[in-house]
Structure 1
Amino acid sequence: MAHEYPTLSQAPYWWPSRTPAADNPWGCPYVQRDGERNPEVDSGTDRQDLEKVFDSSYDLVLAWYYTGKGQYARKAADILRTWFLSPDTRMNPNLDHAQFIPCKYDGRAIGIIDFSQSYTSVVDAVALLETGAPSWTRADREAMGEWNSDFLGWLRNSDFGKQEAAAANNHGTFYDMLVAGLAYATGDRELARRTVREAAARRVDAQIAADGSQPLELARTRSWHYSTFDLVAYTRLAAIGENVGVDLWAHRGPQGQSLFAAVRYLLPAATGREPWPHPELEFRRFAASDVVHAAADAGDGAARRALPLLEAPPGGDLWALRPAAEQLDSIAGRPAPRSAVGAP
């Protein structure tokens, strides 16, 4: 008999308000402390294992792609089969138990971002494997496509998915990016095209101000992190658009809203010319590097002139080696999972 397993994650910014005791082992009720990450999220859930799956499969496939050494692809294929395909270990294609809050919710729509922010690294890894990697078979390709199709169906039709689609901040942007990426990967180019096209008014016009600021992200205690984070989703969405005939970079809203304006808003702080003028618990200048690279590649002169002034991420500037922009900082205090859209 085949088994399927739910994936469990815990809300990162929720903390116990009482000392755990025999009659209240969690220390409930939990209270929100925005931007302050509770280390509990890394124990007793699938959060770290999930990030390792995404990171390792993506890194191993890139290693195979650039070196031609088959052992990297074989290991990546083993990881993907174990997590997504094997009848005895595969994950359910849903996120019904993402970002639970002890004694409050078994799962929340907002938890979809645990996948949407980085699952496209797996989509890219699979796309690269399908260019001729050893040990990735036709059966693997078909089974992975089926899993992605089922997951896309859940994202579009479940109550959680519909709630996340209606989100007006980075959650909504990443939701659109994931839907578009999965649609493209599973052959539904019309859905991918429509999702990117509709994001122009639904996301860019609504979430980016005329001066390029992102008001909903600036309201956070980690305003720099979330401003760059949201732009990672936008730049990946634009990369998908390039494959389906939609130029999201060219869009201008009624007040001049655009992705270029949003990137330019970051440039004074990204280049070190000026301090970031908004709340930020832990400013990391390098977090903007990939989105500035993406804007420069898309033709923005200000972004291109800023490139020599950027701070390199801890692992070095790997922009030329990756399919698309990545989130380079992490609320966990360590380099974030590598993920992108638009594998070569």
Structure 2
Amino acid sequence: MKFIPTFLALSAAVAHLAQADLIAPALTPVVPTPISFSNYTLEWKSLSTIVENAAIYRVFHAKNKGSSHGKLSVPHPVYQTLKDLADEAVAKPLYTIVNKPFLPPSGDKRDWLSYAPYWWPSPSCNATDKNNDCAFIQMDGQVNPDVYKLNDQRYLEYVSLDTETLAMASLVFDDDSYGQKATDMLRYFFLNNATRMNPNLEYGQIIRGNGKSATHIGRAEGIISARALVSPIRAVKILQLAKARAWKKNDTAGMVDWYSQFHDWLIEDKIAVDESNTKNNHLTYYTNTLTTISDFIGNYSTIESRVTAFFKDDLPGQITANGTQPLEEIRTLPFHYSAFNLEALTYMANFVSQKDPLSHGPYISNAWNQTGDSIISAVNRLIDVVRGTEGQIEPGADLSEADYSVRAVGIQYPKLYCNKYHAIQNHTVPYLNLWPLWTPRLLWDCFN
């Protein structure tokens, strides 16, 4: 089996781990991601590890077949969690953004539409129709509930989470029903001409009203929603690895075509170019989205240059020597945004150094050498904040938001974190409890 060297290397690393007191994460509620409906996370997920852990289940299940008295025989509870979530997803409707209550300025309901979350009608406005006749002002961190009147982001996140979960279930359990549902969802949201989302975010986070701030067209800030377009790419790759019967070559070709059009929009559209010129978490997520899409469509020309430039020119301004992320800590929710940006940084470092079955990478063989010290210092700062050895930067902050990043770094540097950090076992968003599926088996006990 070609993954044995990986397991042996990890085994050697784990054998020499230092022991220390566990960090006990607080159990206070997760601070909601302001522009998200589901705390959607761009967590790195290694396809190689998912394949390895699927094989672990199949071997275990084959040996124990008939001994479970009708219950799922599992070598770890995560497999039952995966099956439960996949069974729920099979029963869900097919999502599309065309069923929104308001038309985008283009008049085409297939165009993405979202409202700027932190913009409100001016309190001094006495107009009857405040949404159209008031000037709008920004109140950072305070979400205008009007954003929840639109379902485009909600449905994209549902499709992202469910298709990836279904694809993993198809691979792990070798069950065609899961692959069929994932296929149906992807076709309905991306490929069916009547129901598909158009490949752009031209009307993301528009500002309403009649004041000078009103845009009535998308803003650069809205492009951060595109991070939810990464998981459908993984879903396609996993369906291919699972050899799902429902998923056809022309489906892959259709998805590549859709993402090719979105790739060009990300490169050429003015608001996308504006987003690429930001410095904080918006640039990090833009870079992640663009490079992931470029990999999927086979356009490798920009990946290495953009990521290398990010490591060289932008990362030093994002993380100081003591792990502070100054561009995030000036925000109204400093811990949340620090964890949010760190999540994207760990994804990027993993992505460009990946060795996955369907990957073109590694793009940058020494990516973690370039980013390791700064990312580790940022992770340690958030841990210290929660432990109280650094000043509290946000009331109620806990490690549940930074859990994805700590584990991602812990997999790269197990000597620093194994048996020193316990991964969150009870995320309020159940999808996040699937983390053992993309964690090497020899490290499950490290984070349990």
TM over 0.5: yes
1:108 aligns with 2:224: no
Correspondence 1:50-89 to 2 at 5 A: 50-89=156-195
Which residue number corresponds to residue 211 of structure 1? 322
Which residue number corresponds to residue 198 of structure 2? 92
1:159 offset after TM fit, Å? Answer: 0.8
Indicate if the aligned counterparts of 2:403 and 2:423 stay in contact, CA closer than 8 A.
no
Q: Flag the 1:40–1:56 CA change in 2: closer, same or farther, 3 A.
A: same
Give 1:250's match in structure 2, choosing from 346, 359, 369: 369
Deviates more, 1:36-45 or 1:80-89: 36-45
What's the CA shift string for 1:6-64, capped at 9, x where partnerless? 10011111122347854545462222221122221111352222222222222222222
Give 1:141's match in structure 2, choosing from 252, 259, 263: 252
Indicate if the aligned counterparts of 1:220 and 1:279 stay in contact, CA closer than 8 A.
no
d(CA) in 1 for partners of 2:322 and 2:426? 26
d(CA) in 1 for partners of 2:437 and 2:121? 42
1:127 offset after TM fit, Å? Answer: 1.2
1:72 offset after TM fit, Å? Answer: 1.4
Which residue number corresponds to residue 346 of structure 2? 235
1:10 aligns with 2:115: yes
State percent identity of aligned pairs: 32
Which residue number corresponds to residue 399 of structure 2? 285
Q: What is the total number of aligned residue pairs between the two structures?
A: 316
Give 1:307's match in structure 2, choosing from 421, 431, 445: 421
Residue 290 of structure 1 aligns with an amino acid whose one-letter code is Y
d(CA) in 2 for partners of 1:267 and 1:76? 37
Deviates more, 1:286-295 or 1:49-58: 49-58
Residue 399 of structure 2 aligns with an amino acid whose one-letter code is R
Correspondence 1:161-176 to 2 at 5 A: 161-176=272-287
Give 1:268's match in structure 2, choosing from 373, 384, 398: 384
Unaligned runs of 5+ in 1: 325-344
What's the CA shift string for 1:107-158, capped at 9, x where partnerless? 1011000112x22111111111222112111111001001111111110111
d(CA) in 2 for partners of 1:159 and 1:296? 38
Compare CA radii of gyration and give the structure with the larger one.
2
Indicate if the aligned counterparts of 1:196 and 1:238 stay in contact, CA closer than 8 A.
no
Indicate if the aligned counterparts of 1:249 and 1:259 stay in contact, CA closer than 8 A.
no
Which residue number corresponds to residue 130 of structure 1? 240
d(CA) in 2 for partners of 1:20 and 1:78? 48
What's the CA shift string for 1:270-312, capped at 9, x where partnerless? xx42176354365243111111111111126433353237675
Larger relative contact order (CA 8 Å, sep ≥ 6)? 2
Secondary structure of 1:204's aligned partner: helix
d(CA) in 1 for partners of 2:434 and 2:293? 25
Q: Flag the 1:33–1:120 CA change in 2: closer, same or farther, 3 A.
A: same
Q: RMSD between aligned alpha carbons?
A: 2.5
Q: Flag the 1:26–1:53 CA change in 2: closer, same or farther, 3 A.
A: farther
Unaligned runs of 5+ in 2: 1-107, 354-360, 441-448
